[in-house]
Amino acid sequence: MAGEGAPAWSIIWAKTQTAGRGRQGKTWQSKPGNLFMSIILWPSSDAEALHQLSFVTAIAVQKTLGFLEKKALSFKWPNDILLNGKKLAGILLETGLSPQHGVIPAPERGSLRSAYSNADRSDPRSRVGMTDTDGKRWLVIGIGMNIKDFPENTDYPATSLYEEIGDIKISLEQILEGIIKNLTSKIADWEKNGFAKMREEWLESAIGLNRPVNIKLPGGIISGTFKDLDESGNLVLDEDSTMRKISAGELFFPDMEEASAACD
């Protein structure tokens, strides 16, 4: 849809998925009763800064789940949201260039697309700079959240809202609407004030900070101490007193891996 010129703030909500996928091409198990949504944006920001929106999105999701204790929710670099230390949700960003160079036909009024486009100036989303013709590059923010079910036998332990707190008094529709509302606000803040505030807010709930970590990269696994998140969103790793910046990878904790191995 994005490559075909869908307008900004188009929302795709799937009840289930037959080909869901996460980072690095991993399969995302998409059972009915969970939340699977994608949001199409047309950013005017530099392409290099767009991966910061993974952290912005995590903060928006955390705010949406405000009925949970904040300390129960944590962020796992680069794009996971944990509940009681287990994966509850994941975020995937995809971007590309439009063959139309960002020139998008105006959507019909009354459609789902137009409800989230800049055609409606009364909608706060219309004042966010991710508008239809702001740039040539599209961005899709994908969010998957385990509401009723969760996958087993995963690389990192997973869970669901129902597993952790039982029956919840909030619908999928309310969660989706809350994410859109909070993401709109957080993106506007990010565009106006930059990443520094979002970085601090993300770090407040980051798991593994100042702890030993293993990071799986395409070329192998590196180990060190998770020291910081830099101004661009890279993980700063203390590797034998040498600070190394990591832009992408899979984060694991040695103590958790040892405990898992002991149980096998």
Say how many C-beta atoms besides its own lie within 10 A of residue 25's C-beta: 6
Same domain, 163 and 121: yes
Same domain, 244 and 189: no
Q: Is the separation of the CB atoms in 74 and 206 below 8 Å? A: yes
Same domain, 100 and 159: yes
Please tell me whether the overall predicted TM-score, pTM, comes out greater than 0.85 for this model. Answer: no
Same domain, 221 and 200: no
Residue matched to tokens 């009840």: 15
**Which percentage of the chain shows pLDDT scores above 70?**
75
> Tell me: the pLDDT tens digits for 70-99?
779 999 999 999 999 999 999 999 988 876
Same domain, 200 and 216: no
Same domain, 196 and 217: no
- In this structure, what CATH number is given to the domain that contains residue 240? 2.30.30.100
**Dihedral over Cα of 14, 18, 19, 20: its sign:** positive
- In this structure, what CATH number is given to the domain that contains residue 73? 3.30.930.10
Residue 232 and residue 55: Cα distance in Å, rounded?
A: 11
Same domain, 251 and 150: no
Residue 242 lies in a domain: yes
More confident residue, 107 or 166: 166
Q: Whole-number mean pLDDT of the chain?
A: 81
| Of the candidate ranges 61-65, 81-85, 105-109, the one whose mean pLDDT is the lowest | 105-109
